[in-house]
Amino acid sequence: MGQVVIASRLSDGLVVFLRDKADPSGGAGNGRADWVLQLADAEVADDDSRAAELLALGEADGAAIQSVVDIYLIEVEEETGQLRPTKAREAIRCFGPTVRPDLGKLALAERALAAGN
Amino acid sequence: MALLEKRDSGAVLIVDRYSKVEEDAATPESGDVLVSLERLEAERESLLARADSVGVWLRSDQSPSGLADDLGKIELVALDFPVFSDGRAYSSARLLRERYGYRGELRAVGDVLAEQLGFMLRSGFDTFEMASPNALEEFATIPKEVRVVYQPTGDGLATATELRLGT
Amino acid sequence: MYHYDEYDHALVKDRVAQFRRQVERRLSGDLTEEQFRPLRLMNGLYLQLHAYMLRVAIPYGTLDSRQLRKLAYIARRYDKGYGHFTTRQNLQYNWPKLEETPDILAELAEVEMHAIQTSGNCIRNTTSDQYAGAAADEIEDPRIWCEIVRQWSTLHPEFSFLPRKFKVAITGSENDRAAVRVHDIGLIMKHGDGEGAGEAGEVGFEVIVGGGLGRTPFLGKTIRPFLAKEDLLSYLEAILRTYNMLGRRDNKYKARIKVTLHETGAEEFARLVEEEWAEIKESSLKLPKPEMDRIAAHFVPPEFRALESRATAEEERAAGDPAFASWVRNNIVEHKASGYAIANISLKPVGLPPGDATSEQMDLVADLADEYSFGEIRVTHTQNLVLPHVERSRLPELYDRLLAAGLATANVGLLSDIICCPGLDYCTLASARSIPISTQISERFADQGRLDLVGQMQIKISGCINACGHHHVGHIGILGVDRKGEEHYQIQLGGSASEDASLGKILGRGFSADQVVDVVEQLVDVYVELREGDERFIDTYRRVGQAPFKEKVYGTA
Ligand code: SF4
């Protein structure tokens, strides 16, 4: 069980996740926010204090750069090697509308893979 | 906080000559005062008999109907927008202007945002207490962004229907 | 249909330019999200679970082919190739970019469309009977009045910050296809009785106030049995002013006019409105005859040909093709002109999201409208499309064209013609998914024979208590709830949105997602077993009550 910072990108509204650019392994939390499109690329906080640091980092970035909005923490767990949010709502946010699997983030990731990048 | 008064082209900054009398303070002997509706009701005789100007401040849940008879002696009505989304003061403003024939200063106070100025002007407000540091600039452009109006109000602007029919 | 004049064009254009500037200020960081949110909402732009969502108004559900082609184009160029028709005669795009929204609005303005007031606590898109101007049972075309209300309500200086959103619906027929009793204001066109309620023969409105669904559903109450046409706007202004001053602002769940009416009492509320109206009745809100005539002139019916009422081509095809016969029986409605028909196009194919249409489908329907229906299309609150004026003899051709595009599902008004909100697949307020429930039901009841056997039936699904899927007024209503992070569903029976409007009653404890379809099937089985004659589901339910249904589903009454 861990936590991830989730947000919406201002320019197009897409769901993004936080990665601490300066210090991906945890620690001081004075890093730089890097917003990524795939949950798999997000930083997972193992405990509440790291989660709070990440949230603070995301919020500070949101306030300063204004490139993301609606920033909050979600709970995730690992299931057969894949990260999954524990709540249905957040899982749908992370992977896209269940009724249009062709449009969601997994499809996006698959297309990116197929294109070889 | 800046106080703006509308002009034919945009607005000018003006000085607020009224002092607002807080709830627990005594009404000063002289000078222009802005009082609550409660105080106006409690001290009606003496307030309306003053040589200096009297203004009354209405919360958004207070109807202006009780003021109708005294409007000749009141020089300022300030209507409060506790948050921009509380739109009761638009109705109060129109009633004051269009029903009770109030001609004095009608001031918008509280959460007064540039994007709402157009609606406020159409409802009859003529002064505006604004927090924005760019209030003057905003006033010069934003209310004119949409030029066509469909609804007749007391502001006398010709509506689309009137323009169509040439009336 | 109505066409903008220079003033209408100028307003919408100005509005697009204004929003363009607001978006620029937001993207440059000049406006914060808190400051920007109300501005974008006033232009119909939401931020949903996956992306922004733009809600485009389709005023009173009327489109021409040029507009529908534009909607298709926008979906293709700026979105992911589809749009969603909602329960309020709007179209939603699910993936627009903020940066491109001003361009989308500019494209819409070119074809006399906009997204103004499709969100926010203001007067929303006025909805109407989808068969307006074509229905055989119509007193008068209600869209004339919808257009008058549209203009009056657009950027209304006094009513843009109401306690809560405000929805008006107008029907021109006694058979209410616009669900007027579940709107904040419902107007029914009717004849005066010559005994106080209007001159005999004069056409006016019955005014109903305070209906609504959501957390606390109410059916509206008549506060004026007859209102003359010229007084429409002054009366609406009196209602809105009374509500603006009186409506609760301390609790958003108690802020709709239905609660104001309930707490004030319908009679007292009516008295306040009449008192206010007396003051403004003779003001410049009184509609000038030339303006009423000008707008009415836009709605003169197309020139129908003089045709035999029966068409051999149609009858011959129906005799040899049961699928076509089903389509005619279910999707075709009587037209007021002899030899013409109203053709419904179902957007509820088996297994796909209700109300969604691809760009290709929209383009095709636009072409078909040009070829078969004087270029006119309607959008229904049941999330289907309509070609309002089709010659009966050409129905077989039309059917073939639709069939080839997957648009000939013959289920209008039947069990699988489900009204369904976007739910947790898209909507940020949702408690549970609604679309998968609806697709499962349509798959279970995919067999046309079975659908026809079950007959007229309304299933309505909402993904949360906001009730955008109108579950309170479904014969079977399904409501998604969140039970400790899990999707769960409550079932209600006995609702109706038609002229016999009623609110459904909860059946009992709820179900998990994988139980719902079985339960629906059980309910249908009970009905089929108990029905007498040609009773619809709702008729049987009203006759026998809830007990037999409960017993079947829970094993006890
Ligand atoms: S009913 Fe709820 S879930 Fe469905 S669209 Fe409305 S707000 Fe969203």
Residue A114 has pLDDT above 90, yes or no: no
User: Quick one: DSSP state of residue C138?
Assistant: B
- Strands annotated E in C406-518: 419-420, 459-462, 476-483, 486-493, 505-506, 511-512
Per the DSSP assignment, residues forming a β-bridge with A35 are A18
Residue with tokens 């400790």: C484
Pocket test for ligand 1, best of C468, C471, C481 (most atoms within 8 A of CB): C468
Give the chains touching B; criterion: ≥3 Cβ pairs < 8 Å.
C
* Count of CA atoms in the C-beta half-sphere (13 A) of B166: 0
Per the DSSP assignment, residues forming a β-bridge with B78 are B57, B107
Long-range pairs for C515-522 at CB < 8 Å and ≥24 separation? C515/C489, C516/C437, C516/C440, C516/C441, C516/C478, C516/C489, C516/C491, C517/C437, C517/C440, C517/C441, C517/C444, C519/C491, C519/C553, C520/C441, C520/C444, C520/C459, C520/C476, C520/C478, C520/C491, C521/C444, C522/C552, C522/C553
Predicted local confidence at residue C498, as pLDDT: 83
Cβ of residue B62 closer than 8 Å to a chain C Cβ: no
**Does the Cβ of C465 fall within 6 Å of ligand 1?**
no
Predicted local confidence at residue B9, as pLDDT: 80
How far, in Å, CA of B42 to CA of C78, rounded? 62
**Does the Cβ of C466 fall within 6 Å of ligand 1?**
yes
Cβ atoms < 10 Å from Cβ of C317 = 18
Residue C120 in contact with residue C38, Cβ under 8 Å? yes
Residue A28 has pLDDT above 60, yes or no: no
Give A50 to chain C, closest Cα distance, Å: 24
Pocket test for ligand 1, best of C462, C470, C473, C481 (most atoms within 8 A of CB): C462
Contact A13 C51 (CB under 8 A): yes
Predicted local confidence at residue C201, as pLDDT: 87
Largest CA distance in chain A: 41
Give C97 to chain A, closest Cα distance, Å: 4
Residue C145 in contact with residue C187, Cβ under 8 Å? yes
Residue C185, both tokens: 């204001």
User: Which strands, in side-by-side order, build the sheet including B11-13?
Assistant: B11-13, B2-6, B127-130, B105-110, B76-81, B54-58, B33-36, B19-20
Write down the domain spans for chain A: 2-86
| SS3 sequence of C266-327 | HHHHHHHHHHHHHHHCCCCCCCCHHHHHHHHHCCCCCCCCCCCCCCHHHHHHHHHCHHHHHH
Predicted local confidence at residue A112, as pLDDT: 66
Rounded alpha-carbon distances, angstroms, from residue B93 to B41, B65, C385: 20, 11, 44
Cβ of residue C292 closer than 8 Å to a chain B Cβ: no
Long-range pairs for C258-267 at CB < 8 Å and ≥24 separation? C258/C184, C258/C210, C258/C211, C258/C212, C258/C216, C258/C218, C258/C220, C259/C216, C260/C163, C260/C210, C261/C209, C261/C210, C261/C218, C261/C221, C262/C210, C262/C218, C266/C209, C266/C210, C266/C221, C266/C223
> Residues 294-353, chain C: which have Cβ within 8 Å of B?
294
Residue A117 has pLDDT above 50, yes or no: no
Asked whether the CA dihedral C439, C440, C445, C451 is positive or negative, the reply is: negative
Residue A24 has pLDDT above 60, yes or no: no
User: In chain B, how many domains are there?
Assistant: 1
Torsions phi, psi for C310 (to 5 deg): -105, 140
How large a percentage of chain C has pLDDT more than 90? 91
Predicted local confidence at residue C435, as pLDDT: 97
Residue C8 in contact with residue C147, Cβ under 8 Å? no
Nearest of C383, C518, C523 to residue C457 by alpha carbon: C523
pLDDT tens digits, B101-113:
999 999 999 999 9
Residue A53 in contact with residue A81, Cβ under 8 Å? no
**Parallel, antiparallel, or unpaired for β C62-64 and C82-85?**
unpaired
Architecture of domain C312-404: Alpha-Beta Complex (3.90)
Domain that holds residue B75: 2-165
Residue with tokens 């078969």: C372
Predicted local confidence at residue A81, as pLDDT: 85
Give me the CATH code for the C134-297 domain, please: 3.30.413.10
Q: How far is the CA of C316 from the centre of ligand 1 (A)?
A: 45
Q: Given pLDDT bands bounded at 50, 70 and 90, which one contains residue B87? A: very high
Nearest to A99 among C48, C99, C435 (CB): C435
List chain A residues with CB under 8 Å of C48.
13
Nearest-atom index, ligand 1, CA of C426: 8
Question: Is ipTM over 0.95?
Answer: yes
Question: SS3 of C113, please?
Answer: coil
| Residue A67 CB burial class (10 angstroms; 0-12, 13-18, ≥19) | middle
- Strands annotated E in C75-175: 82-85, 90-93, 127-128, 168-171
Q: How far is the CA of C33 from the centre of ligand 1 (A)?
A: 23
C6-110 fold:
Sulfite Reductase Hemoprotein; domain 2 (3.90.480)
Contact C353 A99 (CB under 8 A): yes
Give C101 to chain B, closest Cα distance, Å: 18
**Does the Cβ of C419 fall within 6 Å of ligand 1?**
no
How large a percentage of chain C has pLDDT more than 70? 100
Helical spans, DSSP H, in chain B: 37-42, 44-48, 88-94, 117-123, 135-141, 160-165
How far, in Å, CA of C321 to CA of B66, rounded? 74
Give the H or E element holding residue C361.
helix C359-372
Residue A27 has pLDDT above 80, yes or no: no
Write down the domain spans for chain C: 6-110, 134-297, 312-404, 419-554
pLDDT tens digits, B23-69:
889 999 999 999 999 999 999 999 999 999 999 999 999 999 999 99
How far, in Å, CA of C455 to CA of C410, rounded? 12
Predicted local confidence at residue A25, as pLDDT: 55
Predicted local confidence at residue C311, as pLDDT: 82
Pocket test for ligand 1, best of C53, C252, C421, C478 (most atoms within 8 A of CB): C421
Phi-psi sector, C92: left (phi>0), alpha (psi -120 to 50), beta: beta
* Count of CA atoms in the C-beta half-sphere (13 A) of C421: 27
C419-554 classified as CATH 3.90.1150.10:
no
Which residues in chain C land under pLDDT 50? none
